[in-house]
Amino acid sequence: MANYLRTSAIALCAGLGCATAALAEGDVVVYHWFEYIPQELIDKFTEETGIRVVMDTYDSNEAMLASLRAGGMGTYDVAVPGDYMVQIMRDNDMLDAIAEGELSNHGNILPEWLDVRYDPGRQHSIPYQWGSTSFSVNRDVYDGPINTTEIIFNPPAELSGRINMLASQGEVMALAAIHLGIPMCSPERDDVQALNDLLMGSRQHWVSFNSDTAREVLVSGDAAAGMIYDGFSARARIEEGANLEYAFATQGYIAWMDNVVLLNDAPNRDNAIRFMDFLLEPENVGILTNWTQYSAGIAGVDAFLDPALAAQPERNPPEDAGPAIFIEVCDQATQEIHDRIWTALRR
Amino acid sequence: MAGGAASGGNATSEAYAPARGWLLLPTWVVLGIVVLAPIVLMLIYSFLTKEFRGGVIWEFSVDAYDQFFFDRGLFGDDAPTIQWAYIQIFWRSIWQATLATIFCLLIGFPTAYFIATRPANQRTIWVFLITIPYWVNLLIRTVSMRFILRDQGPLNDLLQWTGIVAEPLTIINTNLGVQIGLFYSYLPFMVLPLYAAIERYNFSLSEAASDLYAPRHKILTRIVLPAVKPGLIAGCILVFVPSLGSFLAPDLLGGARNFMIGSLIDEQFRGSAGNWPFGAAASMILLTLVLLVLMVLARQQARLEKGAG
């Protein structure tokens, strides 16, 4: 009902033309992940700046890259690629440089996220959120120890045949490499063969490959365990009451950071800069982080965070957790071998 | 509903004969832009060199087709053998599409027959009822199907409550799930052309056959089915072709554990592979297969019409 009233108010407002003044500042066109920004924050931005946010969404870094390369450049102002994808986009000359002093809140970026490997000196990007990718287990189904990647690659009988994998080659390959303890893009024949054998041998335990329903399948019970992002798992547990435990394997887990990048040929470059500046304000990032339940890379956010957030098990790896490892960008030859494994895995 | 009105005499078409060329121009323009141009583009792309992570380099190459047909091992340096992976994926899709077509036919024919034999003023309502679910987006319908079919979903609740099954029946993430999804998605494409054909069928022919002591199954196979064959073929094509390329049902109801043609091609453009020429080549091979099937059916239809005329 409240929603309905609000919609009516907006419709009425638009009908009477009272919105036109606010929209005079034009648009910012955002290419974003699905379900990754609260409406509240978008409304706040429009309220403060008069700039309307136009948004398209994608469900994987690769899908975003493909659509930008297939004629999407010049349509969007900003996108939100993950760490390794920033590097790929930078190497392909798809990112515009942010001049020094253009972002008034640039100083809010935490020092450890300033000089990142994929964008040294943060010339093209700002931190959006960071977190980890691991897996969660439904504790109603299995109550044994779960902090090992064996759960995914050599699961106990209760979980075998009930595991959902992310439909993303990079993340599945990375977790497999972590399980084997080999470098992610190792070109060594023995390593590649081991990676292949592991995945082929484990596929019998996996029931589905879904990324955008990764949370839903765990909540509904379609899957009893599955690869998932930390914030997704937290929201499934807290908001939807699923008895899920997020695992930090002793072998290690995947770390990631999503970043807002300024695209080349941005049609509304000035508005894009204001949008990025807005996303460097601690208060705004606090709203964002409370909603996504991931972590922020901005100083001063803590004051705006829900106190319960800091204590969440999904963001506090236990003492014996393995290292957090970022996904690496493989060279072409290795990537082609990974493509072959991925096709064979799902033939 | 269909037919009849189109056969409006030859005099009219004679009158327009001199202007036929430019009157058809809009058709040619539309066909050129929405059919011919994309296919030509796809054909060209399938013979180009792939650019790493998407895109093409404008150099002729048959690598894409080579990748489809030959297996050179994990490291790409073994002696070439036949590549079964893609053939397997194609075969699975064709098999799924065939099954979906058969199921649609088995349910669609009696449904269409039922509608066509209602009094004339009720038929529109029945046709209307058939189309109602299709006002909703396919994605939403497929997701809803997922909710209904899942282990703890209403269907399994009902089955367990009535005691038909003791344990929940696993339908989601199986081939059966995909089948149900495809069947549900494309059923009206079978019912509507069949209905159009059966509605035009002269039921006094059945009565005549019955008067001459033809048994019921003979009436069906020797008289009704041949008479409605064009509608039957149209329905089968309309179900088979989109089923072949679909990826919503396999993804959401089949768990996407195994690639179907649609998801394989999708992966080449939107996945890590980023191999556009291979995606284009796989599409061309699919297109060729579909065209072959359609040509066989069209030829059969032509022979039928010749026989009838």
- Taking an 8 Å Cβ-Cβ cutoff, which residues of chain B contact chain A? 52-55, 74-76, 84-86, 88-89, 150-152, 172-173, 251-252, 255-259, 264, 267, 269-275
Backbone angles phi, psi at B39, to 5 degrees: -70, -45
Q: Residue A176: which of A229, A228, A251, A226 has the closest Cα?
A: A251
Interface of A with B in 182-211 (CB under 8 A): 189, 192-193, 196, 203, 206-210
Backbone angles phi, psi at A227, to 5 degrees: -65, 145
The first and second tokens of residue B138, run together, are 């396919």
Q: Residue B275: which of A187, A69, A95, A92 has the closest Cα?
A: A69
Q: How far is CA B141 from CA A184, B234, B253, in A?
A: 39, 24, 11
Query: Which pLDDT score, from 0 to 100, does residue A23 have?
Result: 46
Count CA atoms within 13 Å of residue B267 on its CB side.
Answer: 25
The whole-number average pLDDT for the span A197-206 is: 96
Res. A11: pLDDT tops 80? no
Coil, helix or strand at residue A228: strand
Inspect the interface and report whether the beta carbons of A340 and B74 lie closer than 8 Å.
Answer: yes
Task: Pick the residue from chain B with its C-alpha nearest to A173.
Answer: B272
Inspect the interface and report whether the beta carbons of A342 and B264 lie closer than 8 Å.
Answer: no
The whole-number average pLDDT for the span A322-330 is: 93
Inspect the interface and report whether the beta carbons of B75 and A344 lie closer than 8 Å.
Answer: no
Inspect the interface and report whether the beta carbons of A342 and B272 lie closer than 8 Å.
Answer: yes
Cα–Cα dist A308/A16, whole Å:
43
User: What residue type is A227 in one-letter code?
Assistant: M
| Cα angle B56-A261-B271, degrees, rounded to a multiple of 5 | 40
Instruction: For residue A70, give how far its alpha carbon lies from the nearest alpha carbon of chain B (Å).
Output: 8
Structural domain boundaries in chain A: 13-129+257-309, 131-255+318-345
- Is A65's Cβ below 8 Å from some Cβ in B? yes
Q: How far is CA B231 from CA B183, B227, B301, in A?
A: 18, 9, 10
The better pLDDT of the pair A152, B23 is held by A152
Maximum separation of any 2 CA atoms in chain A, in Å: 69
Residues in chain A within 8 Å Cβ distance of B270 = 60, 62-63, 66-67
Q: Quote ipTM for the complex.
A: 0.82
Inspect the interface and report whether the beta carbons of B271 and A60 lie closer than 8 Å.
Answer: yes
Residue from the list A66, A209, A332 with its beta carbon closest to the beta carbon of B255: A209
Residues in chain B within 8 Å Cβ distance of A196 = 74
User: Which domains occur in chain B, in start order?
Assistant: 90-308 (1.10.3720.10)
- Is A290's Cβ below 8 Å from some Cβ in B? no
Cα–Cα dist B80/A1, whole Å:
65
Residue from the list B89, B258, B271 with its beta carbon closest to the beta carbon of A169: B271
Alpha-carbon torsion (A190, A192, A193, A198), positive or negative: positive
Q: What is the pLDDT of residues A94-107, one digit of tens each?
A: 999 999 999 999 99
Query: Which pLDDT score, from 0 to 100, does residue B23 have?
Result: 85
- Which residue is it, tokens 């997701």? B143
Percent helix, strand, coil in chain B (nearest 5)? 70, 5, 25
Radius of gyration of chain A (CA): 21
At how many degrees (to 10) do helices B175-200 and B225-245 cross?
150
Cα–Cα dist A288/A282, whole Å:
10
Q: Residue A109: which of A309, A280, A329 has the closest Cα?
A: A280
At how many degrees (to 10) do helices A189-202 and A332-345 cross?
20
| Contacts across the A-B interface (CB distance below 8 Å) | 96
Cβ-contact A231, A39 below 8 angstroms: no
Cα–Cα dist A138/B249, whole Å:
26
* Count of other CB atoms within 10 angstroms of residue B73: 12
Cα–Cα dist A113/A128, whole Å:
11
The whole-number average pLDDT for the span A141-161 is: 96
Residues in chain B within 8 Å Cβ distance of A70 = 54, 269
Inspect the interface and report whether the beta carbons of A70 and B273 lie closer than 8 Å.
Answer: no
The first and second tokens of residue A205, run together, are 């335990």
Lowest mean pLDDT among A58-62, A129-133, B189-193, B195-199: A58-62
Cβ-contact B243, B186 below 8 angstroms: yes
The first and second tokens of residue B95, run together, are 């098999």
Lowest mean pLDDT among B45-54, B68-77, B93-102, B290-299: B290-299
Backbone angles phi, psi at A35, to 5 degrees: 50, 50
User: What residue type is B266 in one-letter code?
Assistant: D
Query: Which pLDDT score, from 0 to 100, does residue B5 have?
Result: 42
Average pLDDT, chain B: 88
The whole-number average pLDDT for the span A62-88 is: 93
Cβ-contact B200, B229 below 8 angstroms: no
Coil, helix or strand at residue A129: strand
Res. A17: pLDDT tops 80? no
Query: Which pLDDT score, from 0 to 100, does residue B106 have?
Result: 95
| Cα angle A194-A197-A198, degrees, rounded to a multiple of 5 | 85
- Which residue is it, tokens 């829900």? A306
**Residues near A69 by beta carbon (within 8 Å), at least 6 away in sequence:** A92, B53, B54, B55
**Residues near B101 by beta carbon (within 8 Å), at least 6 away in sequence:** B190, B236, B239, B240, B243
Task: Pick the residue from chain B with its C-alpha nearest to A165.
Answer: B257
DSSP 8-state class, residue A97: P
Cα–Cα dist B275/B56, whole Å:
8
Cα–Cα dist B208/B210, whole Å:
5
| CATH class of the region A13-129+257-309 | alpha beta
Cα–Cα dist A163/B96, whole Å:
24
Residues in chain B within 8 Å Cβ distance of A203 = 257
Cα–Cα dist A53/A58, whole Å:
16
Residue from the list B53, B172, B257 with its beta carbon closest to the beta carbon of A222: B172
Percent over 90 (pLDDT), chain A = 83
Inspect the interface and report whether the beta carbons of B89 and A221 lie closer than 8 Å.
Answer: no
Coil, helix or strand at residue A165: strand
| Cα angle B255-B235-B261, degrees, rounded to a multiple of 5 | 30
C-alpha of B307 from chain center: 27
**pTM more than 0.95:** no
Cα–Cα dist A58/A194, whole Å:
32
Backbone angles phi, psi at A346, to 5 degrees: -115, 20
Res. A14: pLDDT tops 90? no
Task: Pick the residue from chain A with its C-alpha nearest to B83.
Answer: A344
Task: Pick the residue from chain A with its C-alpha nearest to B149.
Answer: A222
The better pLDDT of the pair A271, B219 is held by A271
* pLDDT band at residue B10 using 50, 70 and 90 as cut-offs: low
* pLDDT band at residue A178 using 50, 70 and 90 as cut-offs: very high
The first and second tokens of residue A129, run together, are 């959120």
Cα–Cα dist B266/B54, whole Å:
12
The first and second tokens of residue A74, run together, are 């010049």
Res. A272: pLDDT tops 60? yes
Cα–Cα dist A298/A282, whole Å:
7
Query: Which pLDDT score, from 0 to 100, does residue B81 have?
Result: 92
Cα–Cα dist B38/A141, whole Å:
50
Cβ-contact B152, A219 below 8 angstroms: no
Domain A131-255+318-345 has CATH 3.40.50.200: no
Q: Do A13-129+257-309 and A131-255+318-345 come out as alike in CATH topology?
A: yes
Cα–Cα dist A207/A225, whole Å:
10
- Is A160's Cβ below 8 Å from some Cβ in B? no
DSSP 8-state class, residue A95: B
3-state secondary structure A69-80: HHHHCCCCCEEC
Number of residues written out for chain B:
309
